[in-house]
Amino acid sequence: MATITLIDDDENIVASIAMTLQAHGHTVNHFHDGVSGLEGVEANPPDLVILDVKMPRMDGMEVLRRLRQHSEIPVIMLTSKDEEIDEVLGFNLGADDYMHKPFSQRLLVERVKAVLRRARPEGETTPADPAGAAGSKVMKRGKLTLDPARHDSLWDGKPVRLTVTEFLLLQALAQRPGFVKSRDNLMDAAYDDQVYVDDRTIDSHIKRMRKKFRQVDPEFDSIETLYGVGYRYREA
């Protein structure tokens, strides 16, 4: 079971979500504004953050932006807004999933399970699971090194901090250098069946990932876009 930090200014929603998650065995720490929530996450990093967008003192987008400056803890964003720009901005800032209010508690539990499963190092699978054992092997592709068991990503020996979703997308691309992965292929690699995202979500993650690698190597160009087709990894 996991430790989850819930940040939302609606006390009724907080009480409802906390009760549901605790009933499923999770430990829940909750905060009612962005400032105290960010401080709480930084003081005691959880396994997952559930973060509302619209809050007093500091909104969820700013909390996420500051959190992503030094941490890749998985984040599920909550919003009562309908504007698509909020969702796109959230993914651009590094959110791992997004839910629109109102939502069912059952759906939230499934989303939490999905994100935690994706965040769990491959090495934590049982020895009887050969697929898990294979997935835990260190992958080397040119200057890139990926270690799923440690969630480590290195470029030319230098660490590049990736979110869970970014790591899974890069792993899927790097498994077969030179081969094109459609956006649908990448969605399947990074998200469970019950999570539905559109093409722009994948594009946002790829854009953010490229930016991170270019901070380490300004010449980084190993993730290629094939317009109208998808993406592929080119060994450096």
Is residue 98, in this structure, part of any structural domain at all? yes
pLDDT score at 132 = 42
Is residue 125, in this structure, part of any structural domain at all? no
pLDDT score at 84 = 59
Residue 80 CB contacts under 8 Å (≥ 6 apart), including other chains: 53, 54, 100, 101
If pLDDT is split at 50, 70 and 90, which confidence band does 28 have? very high
Give the residue from 119, 150, 169 where a domain finishes: 119
Q: Based on the fold, state whether residues 143 and 70 are members of the same structural domain.
A: no
**Which is nearest to 91 in space by CA: 198, 169, 204?**
204
Q: Based on the fold, state whether residues 56 and 143 are members of the same structural domain.
A: no
- Supply the CATH number for residue 78's domain: 3.40.50.2300
pLDDT digits (tens, 9 = 90+) for 53-68: 989 889 999 999 999 9
Q: Based on the fold, state whether residues 96 and 165 are members of the same structural domain.
A: no
Please determine, for residue 214, whether its predicted confidence score (pLDDT) is greater than 90.
Answer: yes
Least confident of 7-11, 156-160, 196-200: 196-200
Is residue 229, in this structure, part of any structural domain at all? yes
Q: Evaluate whether 92 touches 204 at the Cβ level (below 8 Å).
A: yes
Residue 126 CB contacts under 8 Å (≥ 6 apart), including other chains: 132
Q: Based on the fold, state whether residues 11 and 44 are members of the same structural domain.
A: yes
pLDDT score at 127 = 36
Is residue 176, in this structure, part of any structural domain at all? yes
Is residue 19, in this structure, part of any structural domain at all? yes
* Residue with more model confidence, 70 or 89: 70
* Residue with more model confidence, 187 or 73: 73
pLDDT score at 97 = 85
User: Domain range holding 113?
Assistant: 3-119
Q: How far is CA 5 from the centre of its chain?
A: 15
Q: Based on the fold, state whether residues 163 and 107 are members of the same structural domain.
A: no
Cis check for the bond before 74: say yes or no (omega within 30 of 0).
no
- Supply the CATH number for residue 204's domain: 1.10.10.10
Q: Based on the fold, state whether residues 163 and 114 are members of the same structural domain.
A: no
Q: Based on the fold, state whether residues 160 and 106 are members of the same structural domain.
A: no
Is residue 134, in this structure, part of any structural domain at all? no
Mean pLDDT: which of 4-18, 82-96, 133-147 is highest? 4-18
Longest dimension (CA), the chain: 52
Give the residue from 85, 119, 153 where a domain finishes: 119
Q: Based on the fold, state whether residues 98 and 196 are members of the same structural domain.
A: no
Q: Based on the fold, state whether residues 7 and 115 are members of the same structural domain.
A: yes
Give the residue from 65, 89, 119 where a domain finishes: 119
Mean pLDDT: which of 59-63, 149-153, 184-188 is highest? 59-63
Please determine, for residue 236, whether its predicted confidence score (pLDDT) is greater than 90.
Answer: no
User: pTM of whole model > 0.75?
Assistant: no
Is residue 127, in this structure, part of any structural domain at all? no
Secondary structure (H, E, C), 97-135: EEEECCCCHHHHHHHHHHHHHHHCCHHHCCCCCHHHHHH
| Whole-number average pLDDT of the chain | 84
Q: Based on the fold, state whether residues 87 and 159 are members of the same structural domain.
A: no
Is residue 108, in this structure, part of any structural domain at all? yes
* Residue with more model confidence, 101 or 200: 101
Q: Based on the fold, state whether residues 113 and 153 are members of the same structural domain.
A: no
If pLDDT is split at 50, 70 and 90, which confidence band does 165 have? confident
Q: Count up the domains in the chain and report the number.
A: 2
